[in-house]
Amino acid sequence: MRILVTGGAGFVGSNLALALADESHDVTVLDDFSAGNFVNLVKFKGDVIGANCHTEPTGPFDIIFHQASITDTTVTDQHRMMVNNVEGFRQVLSWAAAWKARVVWASSAAVYGNMAPPMTETSTPHPLNVYGYSKMVMEHVARLWHKQTGLPCVGLRYFNVYGPGEQHKGKFASMIFQLAQQMKAGHRPRIFRDGTQKRDFVWIDDVVQANLKAAEISSGEVFNVGSGMAESFNAVVAALNVVMHTNYEPEFIDNPYHFFQNHTEANLERSMRVLGYAPRAGLMEGVREYYGSGSL
């Protein structure tokens, strides 16, 4: 099939583009390289278009995997966030309608805010920041578009994704990556006190798996993509100590963010039943594989 991956130089997008190319699909990446990194695509053999989602590539495409987005959750510029994420998405959907293409796109667990875990897709969203709000609006747009066109438009609510390909994100990379870099530099890992806050950390290969499975169904739904298991920041430090053969104690610091999610955990019942999604890696397995890849 002919496939377009927007945001294909980014973390999830590049891993997805490489996996699709390995399956011998005709893959085109669209990315303006404002947040992605060319290093992620050095091994990619498909076409790369250096532009944003307002520049229409030469279609048609059979599937669009829409990964392009501002993913920095600390951005407070509401206009910038909504124009980039929501209006960019509308543009992509207009292409999909013209091409009769199916769409798989990246939503986020940020739509849940601080609701009680485990988080279920049928819960009413309550985002804490404009990033989460933009994803919630994108979900409304996707449902309406699916209803109007009848074309598949599957949203995936990513939880805390980690793995090779995120190095370019710096302080916006996963906590697993950031803490590992501090420990490799000989420093105690700094985490918000008291380290008991929890996240659903999901291995990048499982996120790619979810995207591929989502491309096989014909709905307008959203699905959780996580490991289904919440782990504390203290547990992350412990796992890193095991694989890195270190013995660092955390250094606790105050949390400066008022929109902080204290506990995220995906309810995967619908994802497993409808998509056939089955996460392979828990925290220890993922950290071990990440470290063994040489990318951590």
Catalytic residues: 131, 169
Distance from C-alpha of 48 to C-alpha of 38, rounded to nearest angstrom: 10
**What are the two backbone dihedrals, phi and then psi, of residue 73, each rounded to the nearest 5 degrees?**
-70, -10
Tell me, what amino acid is at 199? R
Return all residues near 81 (Cβ < 8 A) that are at least 6 apart: 70, 75, 130, 131, 133, 134
Q: Which two tokens stand for residue 58?
A: 């030469």
Contact 255, 196 (CB under 8 A): no
Handedness of CA 1, 227, 9, 153 (dihedral sign): positive
Return all residues near 58 (Cβ < 8 A) that are at least 6 apart: none
- Beta partners for 223? 156
Distance from C-alpha of 152 to C-alpha of 150, rounded to nearest angstrom: 7
